[in-house]
Structure 1
Amino acid sequence: MVYQLDHQNRSIAKKIQQIQQAAYRVEAELIGFYKIPQLAETIEEIQNSTETFLGYSEEQLQGVISYKLEEDVVDIYRLVVDPIHFRKGVGKKLLNYLLKKQYACDFIVSTGSANKPAMALYKWFGFQEGAVVEVAPGIYCIQLHLRK
């Protein structure tokens, strides 16, 4: 089930941090870049975030998506799944919930261009590739967008 998380609660922020660190370590391996900002994000930074956090849980938190809504644009900041729950549809459930919840908006997200699982997920939902940015020598992030 998908529900809004109270990320200001220290215990919940710690769970978010644990999942995102595990997930971003996998992404770091995939793209060959270990300075992904969320790998170093503290519990306090998560608690103080102005993002809206949604979680997916079946007895325990398995994945998290966060976003900001500004005017008619939903900017997805993170979509992370605990690696022990990879390939179970958790990311799809979170993204599907957000797309239905914010049905009248445009959506944007950035991910490592070498992160094939993330690219496939966003394209499955109809996201289109946009700008490519070199974030470090030889490391590229791509912005994807979906107009609803």
Structure 2
Amino acid sequence: MSLIKEIDIRNRELAEEVLKVQIPSYMVEAEIIGFSDIPPLKDTVDTLQQCGETFFGYYIDEELCGAISIKVEMGEIDIHRLIVHPDHFRNGIAQRLLDFVEFNIECKEEIEIIKVSTGFKNAPAVSLYIKNGFHKVDEVRVNEQLSLTFFEKKKLNNGGDEL
């Protein structure tokens, strides 16, 4: 049985579980983009606990298989992490987590925009975001080896997708 539920990242054991998914997930991304010095690979349990993000986990039979983290501010959802353990790649988990955030996050204010960024060369992530109606809004070259692509998706006031 699978389910998505909020993770209390301040709980040390839960932060350890997230890190056990995050590190292998970002190691694959580092390999794809050809750059291993990405910040999520430097995270520790302590840095996760202090990041200020809200985490949701995708569980199969009580095993954390993927997670998404967000910050919600001024009518925007900013996706900070979308991770899936490599053992569970290509099973639709990233899609389900993305859908969960888009259609189930309740806020005191209307969500107008969802933002996310990924490595320019991370073709699977870029494809996922474009398939889900995100539009490229910027590309930033961080250094000679790394460029980031920024995406946004505008939302209608009724919670539906942009027309």
SS at structure 2 position matched to 1:136:
coil
2:73 is aligned, of 70, 74, 84, to 70
Unaligned runs of 5+ in 1: none
Q: Does 1:110 align with 2:117?
A: yes
- Structure 2 contact 25–86 (Cα < 8 Å) conserved: yes
Greater CA drift, 97-106 or 54-63:
97-106
Hey, what does 2:19 align to over in structure 1?
Answer: 17
Secondary structure, counterpart of 1:35 in structure 2? coil
What is the match of residue 123 of structure 1?
130
TM-score of the aligned structures, taking structure 2 as reference length: 0.88
Alignment match, 1:94: 97
Give the alignment of 1:36-51 within 5 angstroms.
36-51=38-53
1:141 aligns to what?
148
Q: Percent same amino acid at aligned positions?
A: 37
Question: Deviations along 1:28-52, whole A, 9 cap, x unmatched?
Answer: 0000111110101010111122100
Residue 138 (structure 1) shift: 3.8
Output the CA distance in 2 between the equivalents of 1:129 and 1:101: 24
Do residues 26 (structure 1) and 33 (structure 2) align? no
2:58 aligned residue: 56
Superposition deviation, residue 139 in structure 1: 1.9
1:87-127: per-residue Cα shift (whole Å, max 9, x none)? Answer: 00000000000000248421011100110100111111100
> Which residue, 63, 81, 84 being the options, matches 1:81?
84
Residues 72-92 of structure 1 show CA distances to partners (whole Å, capped at 9, x for unaligned) of: 011100000000000000000
Give, in whole Å, the separation in 1 of the partners of 2:73 and 2:42.
26
For the residue of structure 1 that corresponds to 2:142, the secondary structure is strand
Shift >6 Å, 4+ stretches: none
Larger radius of gyration: 2
| Structure 1 residue 136, shift from structure 2 partner | 1.4
Number of equivalenced pairs: 148
Q: Which runs of 5+ in 2 are unaligned?
A: 156-163
Residue identity opposite 2:125 in structure 1: A
